[in-house]
Structure 1
């Protein structure tokens, strides 16, 4: 039977990229971590990691062992959860990923409260406006503002995420506001670099409209700031721009013949196996927060 502590170290090395960082996450001394790795390599008779002065990277054999190590760690966690019962408190390292905007506005404040209420939990919050491979990266939970595209992932819809067209008062005074969907072609629309279409519902049909403008970005936060600066019209989630609308920093742009397609706020898990208490309780806390915000 392989040493679970050594397998946990291998998983951490794959995520952290160095033995020192992996040791810190597991609260081990660098020497103890080095001995664990060396012991696992001796037991298997292969080298699992390439060592340099600055970083570690998995060998081909280490990469092959990694998914099996993760599976064994999941099974171990599930076995402990079944013994402790459903009322067991949250504990251990919780890795969560979401977008910069949602992380800044919603998840970071929630995480602080969650950690105070659950002192045995550590949280590693990874913010990115790209879609992270949560299985490959060892992520416990992804919060996505969309429908999950990967059918192999498990998703729970937590709340609707209505979207609105918004513009700064200065832009509206300078360029006017579109009145119908077709008017958008005559306006500067602020879009993500990889998404040149916006989706709207008009009557019973869904319509995808190509939009363009002088500014694009790979970050929702950058789009938001450009909109506040008067560069154009943006399509943003209401949870993100609500405070700006209330403060008058942005104005909602309403079209007579269409409304933006609403999305959903999803909690996405990497596996269909038993969800650990740390993940389940965090998702429940987030669902309650979103319900209160709505």
Structure 2
């Protein structure tokens, strides 16, 4: 009966009768004979399209559009891409590095990597790894000015502020605390703040993944406070929808998560930290 209803709907749409119906047989009308070859071609084209999509579902192909913060994209995402593209020659990648929050749905972005609280409930967020904030300074600065040990010590140190982050967030005795970052230098990019800190202009608050290489190399030192912990963030993959996510998106997110877990920050204690200048 479902076939009969669909055939009747098609005839109604075309405005012609396609078959003669009797209680014992069904035969084509002249109009049906004209339409049948076209119907077969449409069916074959539909089957070919479905087969192509099913084949692509197992391989990474097409254009993958990604956005990420500038420093994180350069230091973490970029090193992953050559191998990913060599393994998937049909894959193209369009990477946008920006420290601003972009409209991923409006710009056609497949996945946004964010290190911030996700406020848009319409988006799909997947946490990939912890990314705690870290207060840091150059070894030379700590020799000259000493190492702060409690939050109140920050009043005696110049703080390098990232635009929009003139208040630094901590947790003390289980309660959130904010400290105003006061200093003579601020910048609108993580890279500039990181460079200024390495040059000894003051203390900076950045995330672990922004400075993990500098911490390992010793050009920056993590500062731990006896009475407080900096704000704990995470690296999050944000998708515009959870429905029918392309294989290329899942592959990229899984690869990034695996890389992050290999060097999991876990907490600020996993990075090389000090309360003593070198």
TM exceeding 0.5: yes
1:261 and 2:231 aligned: yes
The number of residue pairs the alignment matches comes to: 216
1:80, distance to aligned residue in structure 2 (A)? 5.6
Q: Who is 1:145 aligned against?
A: 115
1:104 and 2:82 aligned: no
Q: Who is 2:85 aligned against?
A: 115
1:211 and 2:211 aligned: no
SS of 2:60 mapped into structure 1 = coil
- 2 CA distance for matches of 1:117 and 1:197? 44
- 2 CA distance for matches of 1:292 and 1:266? 16
1:243, distance to aligned residue in structure 2 (A)? 2.2
SS of 1:184 mapped into structure 2 = helix
1:239 and 2:209 aligned: yes
CA RMSD of aligned residues (A): 1.9
Gaps of 5+ in 1: 1-78
The TM-score, its normalising length taken from structure 1, stands at 0.70
1:188 and 2:166 aligned: no
**Of the candidates 153, 167, 174, which is equivalent to residue 197 of structure 1?**
167
SS of 2:81 mapped into structure 1 = helix
Q: Who is 1:167 aligned against?
A: 137
Gaps of 5+ in 2: 1-48, 265-278
User: Deviating runs (4+, > 6 A) in structure 1?
Assistant: none
SS of 1:222 mapped into structure 2 = helix
2:186–2:193: 8 Å Cα contact kept in structure 1? Answer: yes
1:118, distance to aligned residue in structure 2 (A)? 1.2
1:271, distance to aligned residue in structure 2 (A)? 2.0
1:273 and 2:259 aligned: no
1:124 and 2:125 aligned: no
- 2 CA distance for matches of 1:117 and 1:293? 23
Q: Deviations over 1:199-257 (max 9, x none)?
A: 11122112122212111111111111111010111112222222222222111211110
- 1 CA distance for matches of 2:124 and 2:72? 20
Q: Deviations over 1:21-72 (max 9, x none)?
A: xxxxxxxxxxxxxxxxxxxxxxxxxxxxxxxxxxxxxxxxxxxxxxxxxxxx
1:226 and 2:196 aligned: yes
- 1 CA distance for matches of 2:152 and 2:70? 31
1:81–1:88: 8 Å Cα contact kept in structure 2? Answer: no
1:176, distance to aligned residue in structure 2 (A)? 1.6
- 2 CA distance for matches of 1:248 and 1:116? 34
1:200–1:260: 8 Å Cα contact kept in structure 2? Answer: yes
- Structure 2 CA distance for partners of 1:81 and 1:282, relative to 1, 3 Å: farther
RCO higher in structure (CA 8 A, sep ≥6): 2
1:86, distance to aligned residue in structure 2 (A)? 9.3
Q: Which moved more, 1:91-100 or 1:165-174?
A: 165-174
